[in-house]
Structure 1
Amino acid sequence: MEKDFEGRIALVTGASRGIGYQIAKQLGERGAHVIAVARTVGALEDLDDDIKAAGGEATLVPLDLTDFDALDRLGAAIYERWKKLDIFVGNAGMLGVLSPLGHISPKDFDKVMAVNVTANWRLIRSLDPLLRQSEAGRALLLTSVHAQTCTAFWGLQSISKAAVEAMTRTWAQESRQTAMKINLADPGPTRTGLRAKAMPGELPENLPQPAAVATELLPLVKPDVQENGKLFDRVSRDWVSL
């Protein structure tokens, strides 16, 4: 396998399953040292085994993204060890309940916003100085078509992902004079547990596997990427200016 990420330090959230697992696995297989962040220790250990089997290296970080103080400490720990970060993939997210807006409990609303929005903002605060130390810092945050379509009953996804998109685009504009390139990606329908929960009647065999989706997203964090503040639609395989 081509080692086109050799020497790169990459942090991936939601790395214990689905697209995040596969992005982390493929980055490790292709030479990056992967900092894998997720709550599930066992799944992180499986990821570590897969990366090591391919000759790669990983650092496992089992934490809950709503432990915001831990996210601050994470940035400090990365600085202590590597002095920089080359790649940040903000993949972690939660679906929440599918419900009319007026029926969503404050607890459910706050939890989704904490994971999907506030955690990514805290990560930006923690990781931005490290990405600026890279000769080609790359950040990719995952979003959803619901940020644009505002589909009935999908309000938690629509609201939280719209916030992620606005936050990412703002960060990209603020970083225009740096070597960083900061973008969004909509992976589209994928055969994941989150998708099965949201669409229980859907035939999973009609959806692409996370590994295939991850392969298409990896080029978006290569040093030669020049797009900034844009959204990559994996289904149309095109960049979209928002």
Structure 2
Amino acid sequence: MAGQLEGRVALVTGASRGIGYQLAKLLAAEGAHVVATARTVGGLEDLDDEIKAAGGSATLVPLDLADMAGIDRLGGAIHERWGKLDVLVANAGSLGVLAPIGHIEAKTFEKTMMLNVTATWRLIRAVDPLLRASEAGRAVFLSSGAAHSCKAFWSLYAATKAAGEAMVRSWANETANLPLRVNSVNPGATRTAMRAMAMPGEDPDTLPKATDVAAAILPLTLPSVTQTGGLFDVRKNCFLAYRDPE
């Protein structure tokens, strides 16, 4: 039986591990050809092996999102080969550092902003015309509860995720009259390497697995999605309401 994404093209960033890795597998299982990007070649190769073993197909693109020109080239390559993009999952990101705001080094601040904010903008710019060319383009951006909780010592990561959500909402409003649907996702605490870095004393067995979180996010990539400009909370299994501007 054909999958729900049969014949469609999906781009996943940060696909070499964690939620991105599992989402790439699920997209391929639904019939999408997955364009998988990450810095870690070994993780991408493992992903490719699993996808092919399950009968799916993928194109591997080793890419550091700090390479802005590389993001542009990726968009150009997708255009040349397929002429469109049906699904974007923007999963790649950096925790930066957890520290008092006055103790964050400038180079750390700038690098984290570049990876989590500037690269997100560059990616949107590169794929916007490709997603518009799809009859049902879907874009999903991984955010975090940190964007709203603004806990002590989380200022850098929280700021980048809040900026990312703002860009996504604005883009969704710009494209609201098109078939393109654009949403952010708060995956919640998940058993990933980034979570282990942030919470080294936490028992990982108490957290949901990346496979389960990815399965909850997958429906947002399907043509049946009607919501745009929303924030989907995986733990609550629903879209949360943003406050309308006064």
Q: Which residue of 1 aligns with 2:72?
A: 72
Q: Distance in 2 between matches of 1:93 and 1:199?
A: 17
| Aligned residue in 2 for 1:198 | 198
Q: Could you tell me which amino acid in structure 1 is paired with residue 5 of structure 2?
A: F
Does 2:95 match 1:95?
A: yes
- Asked whether 1:47 is paired with 2:41, we answer no
For residues 39 and 25 of structure 2, the distance between their equivalents in structure 1, rounded to whole angstroms, comes to: 17
State the distance in 2 between where 1:229 and 1:202 align.
Answer: 33
Q: Secondary structure at the residue paired with 1:77?
A: helix
Counterpart-to-counterpart distance in 1, 2:216 and 2:176: 25
Matched, 1:131 2:131: yes
Distance 2:73 2:2 in 1: 33
1:46 maps to a residue whose letter is: D
Whole-Å separation in 1 of the counterparts to 2:174 and 2:4: 28
Determine the C-alpha separation between the residues in 2 that align with 1:109 and 1:137.
33
1:4 aligns with 2:30: no
Q: C-alpha deviations, 1:63-87, integer Å up to 9, x for none?
A: 1001000100111100000000000
Distance 1:197 1:176 in 2: 37
Matches within 5 A, 1:8-19: 8-19=8-19
Question: Which residue identity does 2:71 align to in structure 1?
Answer: L
**Aligned 1:66-215 pairs, distance under 5 A:** 66-215=66-215
List alignment gaps of at least 5 residues for structure 1: none
Q: How far apart are the structure 1 equivalents of 2:226 and 2:3? A: 21
Q: Taking structure 1 as the reference length, what is the TM-score of the superposition?
A: 0.99
Cross-structure match for 1:63: 63
Task: Report the alpha carbon displacement of residue 10 of structure 1 after superposing the two structures with TM.
Answer: 0.2
Q: Measure, in 2, the Cα distance between the counterparts of 1:166 and 1:154.
A: 18
Query: Identity, % of aligned pairs?
Result: 60
1:77-112 CA distances to partner (integer Å, 9 max, x unpaired)?
A: 000000000000010011011001110001000111
Q: Which runs of 4+ in 1 moved over 2 A?
A: none
2-structure distance, mates of 1:165, 1:73: 25
Amino acid at match of 2:143: T
Q: Measure how far apart 1:2 and its partner are.
A: 6.3
